[in-house]
Amino acid sequence: MALRRCWRFAGVAPRLLWNSRVLPGAPVPLWRSTMSSFVNTHPGCKKTELQSRRFSSEPASTDVSYEQLKQLLAGRKAVVIDVREPWERREYGFIPGSINVPLGQVNTALQLSPDEFKEKYGGEMPHQTDNIVFSCLAGVRSKNALDTATSLGYKDAQHYPGGWQDWVKNEQHN
């Protein structure tokens, strides 16, 4: 409720100042020209995005790009979990180094003991402080897996929204 009131004030005060009239020939106040140039020239952002980011409680980004994923894999700085079904991996392929944990098993798998996880899925179980990147075919299932991991207390979980389709496309170009 307090945030909503704050948001209303944050939206009203600048508009009151922004819409005030400046007489012809009078100098434009410095704050007005600075704000205008920042909002209008900030790369890739709209005025509403800038305002909403200030009040967002979500992490900056949970999405990983192809380039970021390549760097994480090269530096062995992340556990990549492919949440597709095993037949999909066999038929279409997979990201090298990824562990296959089908989406329907993610909740249970992330609560197993490390030995049970390794025996069942063939890879090291990520700790709650490890960087985990979930992947699937096109980013829908990986987002669901990300939400599950976050609810289980995994702090540094992300997903690769492009999934296998984006990976193949980028690998063919390189």
pLDDT tens-digit series, residues 2-40 = 544 444 444 444 444 444 444 455 554 444 333 333 334
Is 92's pLDDT higher than 60? yes
pTM confidence score: 0.65
Residue predicted with more confidence, 138 or 35: 138
Does the pLDDT of residue 150 top 90, yes or no? yes
State mean pLDDT over 132-158: 95
pLDDT band for position 142 (cuts 50, 70, 90): very high
What are the residues facing 82 on neighbouring strands?
Answer: 100, 135
- Which member of 110, 136, 145, 149 is catalytic? 136
Q: Go through the domains of the chain in sequence order and give each one's CATH number.
A: 2-55 (no CATH), 66-173 (3.40.250.10)
What's the confidence (pLDDT) of residue 9? 42
* Angle between the N-to-C axes of helices 47-55 and 2-18, in degrees from 0 to 180, rounded to the nearest 10: 150
d(CA 111, CA 172): 37
CB 149 within 8 A of CB 134: yes
Catalytic residue flag (residue 136): yes
